[in-house]
Structure 1
C-alpha cells in the first residue's frame, strides 16, 4: 500500500483551511447580540448580562413588548443580574448572588423581578416569560421616564445610583444603595 506524499497532504490541508475560512465569512450578524454592563454601586460590583435587540422601526412599548405581561428584559436568554455584595434595590434588600431579571412594563409603572433561577431561555412556548414566580426573591416597582435620546439598541447602564434599561424613547431607572 502506498502512503500519500507530504505535498499531497499539505495541499489537502490548505484547501480545507481556505474552504472553512470562506464559509466563516458568510456568517450574518446576530440580530440581538450578547452584551454586558458592569459597574460599581457603593461597594458592590454589579454585572448585567443581556441580549440587545434593535428597534428596527417597530413600536416597542405596548406592542412588541406588551404592557402588563412579564418580559425577559432583553432578547434570547433571560437577562442576568449579579452583585458581589448585599444591596438595597429601591429600599429592599437583595442578597449577593446571580439572578434572572424579568420586568412587567406599564405605561406609568414597571415591576422589576429578581428571580433565583438563572441560565434559562427567556421565553416558554407561546412567548410567555420563562420563570417560576415561586423563585422570585425580590419584586420592586419603578417609574419609567422619557429618555433624553433615542436608543436604537436596548442597553443597560450602571451608575453610582443604580442601573437603567434604555431602549427606544424610554428609560427605566432602578435605584440601588
Structure 2
C-alpha cells in the first residue's frame, strides 16, 4: 500500500511538472450532418505580440502549438466554394499584415509544427477575410458552428464556411 501511495504521489508530481503549456483541445460538432473534429494545441497570448511578432506575417503557421492542428470530416464538404474530400487534414494558416489570410488543408496530418510543411501536399487553400476586434481571446480557440469552423486568437477571428458537397 505504501508503494502504491508513493507511485500515485510521483505520478501526480510528474503530471503537474510536465503539463503542457499549450494543452491539447478538441472541438467537435456537426455541420449539415457532417461530423467535424478539430484537434489542436491551445497556446495563450500571455501579453505577447502574436500577429507579426510570435507568428510572422506571410509565413505558414500550424494554427496551434506542438503537434499539427488537424481537421477531420466524415463526408465530402465544400469550403469557401471549393470541394474537399472526407478525411483528416493538417490545418495551417498564413496570416497577412493586410488583406485576406490563407487557410490550408494539407494531406499530411501527422507532422510536428510547420517546419516540414510541403505546399505540394495541399488539398485545399482558400482566402478568408479576418475579423479584428477589441476583445482579447487569451487562449487559442476553435469551434464547430452551425455552418462554419471558427478560429479565434488574440484579437483575430476567422470564420471558415463549410457546407455539404
- Whether the TM-score (by the shorter chain) exceeds 0.5 is yes
> Residues 51 and 77 of structure 1 are in contact (CA less than 8 Å); yes or no, is this contact kept in structure 2?
yes
Correspondence for 1:64: 54
Structure 2 counterpart of 1:112, from 99, 103, 112: 103
**CA 1:136–1:64: 2 relative to 1, 3 Å:** same
**CA 1:159–1:148: 2 relative to 1, 3 Å:** farther
Greater radius of gyration (CA) = 1
Correspondence for 1:150: 136
Superposition pairs for residues 152-171 of structure 1, below 5 Å? 152-171=138-157
Correspondence for 2:10: 23
**TM-score (normalizing by structure 1):** 0.85
Where structure 1 has 5 or more consecutive residues not aligned to the other structure, the ranges are 1-13, 125-129
Q: CA deviation at 1:148?
A: 6.3
Query: Could you say what secondary structure the match of 2:124 adopts?
Result: strand
1:103 to 2:87 alignment = no
> Residues 99 and 117 of structure 1 are in contact (CA less than 8 Å); yes or no, is this contact kept in structure 2?
yes
Correspondence for 1:6: none
**TM-score (normalizing by structure 2):** 0.91
CA-atom RMSD in angstroms: 1.3
Superposition pairs for residues 70-149 of structure 1, below 5 Å? 70-107=60-97, 108-124=99-115, 130-147=116-133, 149=135
Runs ≥4 residues deviating over 3 A: none
Structure with the higher fraction of residues in strand conformation: 2
Where structure 2 has 5 or more consecutive residues not aligned to the other structure, the ranges are none
Structure 2 counterpart of 1:54, from 44, 47, 50: 44
> Residues 147 and 166 of structure 1 are in contact (CA less than 8 Å); yes or no, is this contact kept in structure 2?
no
How many residues get paired?
Answer: 159
